[in-house]
Amino acid sequence: EFLAHIGKHTVVYSSNPTWGNHSLVFLSAGFSTYKSYRYWDAAKKALDFDGLMEDLRNAPANSVILLHACAHNPTGVDPTQDQWKQIADLIEERGLFPFFDSAYQGFASGDLDRDAWAVRYFDSRGFEMVCAQSFAKNFGLYNERVGNLTFVAKDRAVIEPVRSQITLLVRANYSNPPNHGARIVGTVLNNPALTEQWKGHIKTMADRIISMRHGLRERLEKMETPGTWNHITDQIGMFSFTGLGPLAVDKLIAEHHIY
């Protein structure tokens, strides 16, 4: 809402595919145009980087570009660090506005710092940007929906005006947020011992996800299932595009309750 009503942004681009609620969130907030940039190459079961770059190159200046910070939902495919640098170059060249959605920090690699690399790189380049960070998953606080919204600006003089406008939006939307989830996160992050314990839990969860990927691939290859399955272990995070067709997916749902 701030970007649409105060920043006067009207166009937003998200990856195709993306989290199903992104379009509803941005259009309901006041954006007039919701578009997508290519991301998943179904034939190669990999990132369509050339298509992504072409679509961003054709985006009108001042468009908001929604980027998944890590562990892309739903493909499980992230750009490499070199590709992130090229994306940053193009966004800067075209006068676009980066908006990071960081919902799965820690679940890509098991390392919180490594998973924050893209956001920190854009910050180091001096971009003005927004990062919406969720603690619902990596703190297991699904029912609290606690998170952190970060605005990065070049001029310190805009900090208070931005804070004031965001406060007005909060006041109109929900007035005061529940504090239980935020206090849990604050307690953990302000206690070094608890923070280290939490990092260990993140690593445990990420390692389990990685082991599940390897287990699935090994079983498919052991059964000599047609096709190649390396893309399952190449992908990261909680989501995977398996490459299975609609009939196979429907069979898994109907007969085995695998979704």
pLDDT, tens digit, 9 for 90 and up, residues 42-70: 999 999 999 999 999 999 999 999 999 99
123 is catalytic: no
Helix, coil or strand: residue 132: strand
Retrieve residue 165's tokens. 């406008």
| Residue of 19, 41, 84, 234 marked catalytic | 19
154 is catalytic: no
Backbone angles phi, psi at 123, to 5 degrees: -65, -40
For 2-184, CATH number? Answer: 3.40.640.10
| Residue of 48, 55, 78, 137 marked catalytic | 137
Q: What is the pLDDT of residue 181?
A: 95
Closest CA to 103 of 192, 178, 18: 18
Closest CA to 37 of 21, 22, 18: 18
Closest CA to 63 of 83, 102, 36, 85: 36
Retrieve residue 139's tokens. 């703190």
Q: How confident is the model at residue 177 (pLDDT cuts 50, 70, 90)?
A: confident
| Residue of 55, 101, 198, 229 marked catalytic | 101
* Global confidence as pTM: 0.94
Could you read off the pLDDT of 196-228 as tens digits, one per residue?
999 999 999 999 999 999 999 999 999 999 999
117 is catalytic: no
Provide CB contacts within 8 A for 93, sequence distance 6+.
none
